[in-house]
Amino acid sequence: IVTSPQDLVSMIVKKAYNMAQMMNISVLGIIENMSYVVCPECGEEFKIFGSGSETIAEELSIDLLGKMPIDINLARTVDNGNFEMYDNTYLEDAAKRIIEKTNA
């Protein structure tokens, strides 16, 4: 389930999770989008929307698989239709964990 760190979104995540459970669809975990923004000057991370995905993951007993920052370069790459050319490691651990879970 892809989420963002706002409080209201946690309610939507719970509803999506419950619907998946009712339909016997496995949920591998949560990916938090717009988790933070990195200052281009100092490299400091700012959580402008707060944080809360850890709490919702705990409540639902599912993994928080990864966090995606707000990244203007990613947005530009997607807008240009070149998403597959974007090189990042934001979800590298999430991909490994998903592969592990699906091969188990």
pLDDT, tens digit (0-9, with 9 covering 90-100), for 44-57? 999 998 887 888 99
Tell if the pTM clears 0.85, that is, is over it: no
Q: Which H, E and C letters describe the chain, residue by residue?
A: CEECCCHHHHHHHHHHHHHHHHCCCCCCCEEECCCCEECCCCCCEECCCCCCHHHHHHHHCCCEEEECCECHHHHHHHHCCCHHHCCCCCCHHHHHHHHHHHHC
User: Percentage of the chain surpassing pLDDT 90?
Assistant: 48
- pLDDT exceeds 90 at position 10: no
Write down the pLDDT at residue 23: 97
pLDDT, tens only, 22-69? 999 989 899 999 999 999 899 899 999 888 788 899 999 999 999 999
Would you state the pLDDT for residue 51? Answer: 81
